[in-house]
Amino acid sequence: MAPSALHFGAGNIGRGFIGALLSDSGYHVTFADVMDKLINALNEHKGYTITILDVAPEEPTKDIKNVSGVMSNNPTELTKAIVDAEIITTAVGPNVLRIIARSLAAGIVERRKAGKTYLNIIACENMTGGSRHLGDEIAKHIADSEDKAYFEEYVGFPNCAVDRIVPPFDPGATGNVLSVGVEAFYEWIVEEPAFKGPRPHIEGMKLTDNLVAYVQRKLFTLNCGHATTAYLGYLKGYATVDESLKDSEIEKIVHDAMVESGQALCKKHGFDFEEHKKYIEKIMNRFRNPYIKDDVARVGREPLRKLGPADRLVGPTKMAVEYGLPHANLIKGIAACLMYDNPEDKQSVEVQTAIREKGLAHVCEDVLGFAPDSTETKLVLQDYEELKASSAKH
């Protein structure tokens, strides 16, 4: 009988990345989600097809099997899945972790009662310290002293860095809404010392004892460049990331922003800069992939989160400032994000409302963490006005 894995989030990333690796490694993967359409399809088809998008779309596909689904709002079924699981992963978005924490706490309590031992829960989100954050949220819902002792001894929360572009995908004539398209490249690096009990063997999972460096490398390079492309592209009316990068002005800003963040990363973590430049070129080629039609609004969604002081735009800027390194193009990315006005994105509306009501300088202080009289605030305001004038022409 196959070991059980539970994955929260049956969306494209869950199915096309982490869930697929778990299935390939011999696990029966149960997906938990609130979308009944996806859960019903998982229980009906018990599998789906992944298409590799680095080449023509009719090219290589891969069948993922031995999967099922459970509704996240069905406490009985979800608790059973938590009790049965040998590993739990998530791809739900950072803001949802606190929501699933209560259910995980209830399941962990039942695991103790059932005599289960080690369990590792890995939050595969684009955030620093995601798993540990989830662990802290779960701990809030565990009150009994015996349950707390069990939780501390047997449940591990290894942080990780994840990297794979999984854009929206049309399943076409397959009739299976679960079919998903992905790029061939992926990276899943997990913090080895944080595991409790035996380390699981999962194809494609790399263990490290220096995760912070890899998390920041990915967040401050790929996610930084991706977001910068999306916001600049959106302002010029482009629909996708690859289309945006055909604009030489955008391409140069994005590339130079990643070089700036790279110089700071190499200074902080000791990465070899020549190797890091190759990493940047690989990322640029991934962004240019014409078969991955990655919508700029999808990449740019939730700008408030992306403007966080330690996130993909402000984080590398502050690191560059700390080491006295260039950061002009990183600032342009921040300004473009502040210009991102999408009425269908709740966080975009919040940012635009704050700018109108409180002023851009206040937002730089309140959201970005830049002092009002800092050089960085002045540069953001300057670039913002230049982008505003430029976008008025498009």
The residue whose two tokens read 């979308």 is 35
Give the separation between CA 347 and CA 363, rounded to whole angstroms. 13
For residue 167, the model assigns a pLDDT of: 83
CATH number at residue 383: 1.10.1040.10
Q: 125 with 73, same domain? A: yes
Total count of domains within the chain:
2
Residue 225: which domain range? Answer: 212-391
Distance CA 231, CA 166 (A): 19
Report pLDDT digits (tens) over 315-364.
999 999 999 999 999 999 999 999 999 999 999 999 999 999 999 999 99
Query: Token pair 């949220």 is at which residue?
Result: 137
- CATH code of residue 19: 3.40.50.720
pLDDT of residue 393: 61
Query: pLDDT by residue (tens digit) across 305-316?
Result: 999 999 999 999
Per-residue pLDDT at 288: 94
* Residue 56: band (very low, low, confident or very high) from pLDDT cuts 50, 70, 90: low
Q: Does 112 lie in the same domain as 170?
A: yes
Q: Are residues 71 and 178 in the same domain?
A: yes
Q: Among candidates 259, 255, 256, which has minimal Cα distance to 267? A: 259
Q: Is the pTM of this model over 0.85?
A: no
Same domain, 190 and 254: no
Looking at the fold, whether 221 and 347 belong to one and the same domain comes out as yes
Q: Are residues 217 and 170 part of one domain?
A: no
**Residues 312, 167 within the same domain:** no
Confidence class for position 1, pLDDT limits 50, 70, 90: confident
* 186 plus 266 within the same structural domain: no
- Same-domain pairing of 229 and 291: yes
79 and 141 inside one domain? yes
Indicate whether 116 and 245 sit together in one domain: no
Verify that 51 and 178 share a domain, yes or no: yes
Q: What proportion of the chain, given as a percentage, has pLDDT over 70?
A: 97
pLDDT tens digit sequence for 136-154: 999 999 999 999 999 999 9
Mean pLDDT of 59-74: 92
